[in-house]
Amino acid sequence: MVSRTTDDYQFMARCGVVAVTEPAFWAGFDRSSSQSFYDYFRQLTEFEPKRAAKYGIQHYCWMCINAKEAENVQLSREVIQVIPEFLDRPSVLGIGEIGLNKNTRNEIIVFEEQVDLAARTGQLILIHTPHLQDKHKGTAIITSIIKNDPRIKPERVLIDHCEEHTIRMAKEAGFWAGLTIYHISKCTPQRGCDILERFGAEGIMVNSAADWGESTPSSMIDTCLEYRRRGHTEREAIEVFYNNPCRFFGQNPKWKLKPIDR
């Protein structure tokens, strides 16, 4: 949302969106110092919740240094130092989106240090998996690092940007699997529904990647409409698009919405 306009909040409210969770992510350019991240974290935790609340939307967020900027290990360590003071803020759900971009050694070092931070502080974890040709290898590295840390319960981890060839790695280990709808480089609504039908909805969460690129905050809603168009019941749609997110995020008591049982 830091790269979206207020019109998008109004649009989402009209679409029926009641809450957003915003990962700390790459802003489209590399930031020059940890102070930039400090200010970014303040924007995520102080300004965005107020802007969203004007349209009846709850705004939550995640704290981290993203995989792309994690290539700079020294900068990353400075950012990791400032994260703990934000973790107790009322809208912060956990650590994320951490992960890998090009599967480099530096990215892995910073990923492991942020996993350690999450384990030490008992945070939920949101994971970014790499794009295209790096995705399968990156997802394998990420899942094996987390599985080897006995402090972390798999159901407290969401492996995001899953595709047909990586979703099993997430689900079979007991992690949550995220389907990111972003029509240019990730899933379309149709492909997202194909994956839901093929792998079952349990433990899967669908999300809109609306950022500074060509994208729309309605992509989760568009996927829900496509899902209904295919004949799935309202009850099934609520399970996937509302209850599943409530179940994962609700493991942090700061999350206020409860699954709907009807």
Q: Give me the residues that bind Zn ion (CB under 5 A), please.
A: 97, 128
CA distance 37 to 258: 32
CA distance 36 to 119: 25
Closer of 49 and 178 to Zn ion (Cβ):
178
Closest CA to 141 of 116, 117, 159, 119: 159
Minimum Å distance from CB 88 to Zn ion?
A: 25
Closer of 160 and 226 to Zn ion (Cβ):
160
Minimum Å distance from CB 70 to Zn ion?
A: 12
Closer of 97 and 226 to Zn ion (Cβ):
97
**Helical ranges in the chain per DSSP H:** 6-15, 34-42, 48-53, 73-82, 84-87, 105-121, 135-147, 167-172, 189-199, 219-229, 234-238, 244-249
Minimum Å distance from CB 260 to Zn ion?
A: 28
Minimum Å distance from CB 211 to Zn ion?
A: 9
Closest CA to 159 of 145, 171, 149: 171
Closer of 128 and 232 to Zn ion (Cβ):
128
**Tokens at 187, concatenated:** 């899933």
Residue nearest to Zn ion (CB): 128
Closer of 69 and 97 to Zn ion (Cβ):
97
Minimum Å distance from CB 136 to Zn ion?
A: 16
Distance between alpha carbon 46 and the CA centroid of its chain, in Å?
19
